[in-house]
Amino acid sequence: MTDFWQRDRHQSAALELGGGRVMIVGDDPQICVYVALVLKRLGFQSSANTNPLEALERLLANPTEYRILLTDQKMPELSGLDLINRVWAAHPDFPVVLMSGYGWGISPSALPGVGFLSKPFEIADLEKALRYALKAAD
């Protein structure tokens, strides 16, 4: 059973973060579903896509439909970094969170404004990464 104060904290974070639609991109459908459920608790709607090329096409076709991109780093068709670079080529200030369970292979300082999220993660970690990316894009 969810503790009253815990639920209240998530509702407070939802109001603070402002909601909106998140594009989730990852090759593991179970992780996409989990992330979508956590985002819902934080007041966000989401669209998940396990194919980064399709996600890129959807995002570029209608960027105002999404408030933030949350992508996994390791994917077969296109890495998260490549996806971010393609999105930023068209929309340089688009907010992004990059998640990985394998380490980064890059320094976070090389991608200023990107929220980094290590898997597995707690709700507070996701909240912090979202807050960072959204603030950097303002």
Is the predicted pLDDT of residue 118 greater than 80, yes or no? yes
The count of residues in the chain is 138
- Using one digit for the tens of pLDDT, what is the confidence trace for 20-68? 999 999 999 999 999 999 999 899 999 999 999 999 999 999 999 999 9
**Segment holding 37, helix H or strand E:** helix 29-41
Would you state the pLDDT for residue 105? Answer: 62
Q: What share of the chain is helix, strand, coil (3-state, %, to 5)?
A: 50, 20, 30
Round the average pLDDT of the chain to a whole number and report it: 86
Model confidence, pTM: 0.86
Strands in 44-49's sheet, in edge-to-edge order, are 44-49, 20-25, 68-72, 96-100, 114-118
Angle in degrees, 0-180, between the axes of helices 29-41 and 123-137, rounded to the nearest 10: 80
Backbone angles phi, psi at 115, to 5 degrees: -80, 130
Q: What structural domains and CATH numbers belong to the chain?
A: 26-137 (3.40.50.2300)
